Amino acid sequence: MMAESPSALSVSPVGPLTDAGSRKTLIYLILTLNHMYPDYDFSALRGHHFTKENAMPASASFSGAPPHIMRVKNDVDGLLLETGKAYEATVGAGDEPLSSELWRAIDAAIHVVDCDVYTYKAVAEGDPFCDDGNLWSFNYFFYNRKLKRILYFSCRAVSKTADEESDFEEDDDARNPMDDSFLADGMEMDDDELY
Total domains, the chain? 1
In a domain, 6, yes or no: no
Domain for residue 129, yes or no?
A: yes
Helix H or strand E segment including 152: strand 149-158
Q: 140 in a domain, yes or no?
A: yes
Identify the CATH number of the domain in which residue 121 sits: 3.40.1000.50
d(CA 96, CA 113): 22
- Whether this model's pTM surpasses 0.75: no
Q: Residue 148's domain spans which residues?
A: 11-69+112-173
Q: Is residue 135 part of a domain?
A: yes
61 exposure class (CB count in 10 Å sphere: 0-12, 13-18, 19+): middle
pLDDT (tens digit per residue) in 3-22:
445 555 467 788 888 888 88
**Structural domain contains residue 155:** yes
Domain assignment of residue 148, yes or no: yes
**Residue 192 predicted with pLDDT over 50:** no
In the chain, pLDDT over 90 holds for what percent of residues? 29
Domain assignment present for 107: no
Least confident of 41-45, 81-85, 154-158, 166-170: 166-170
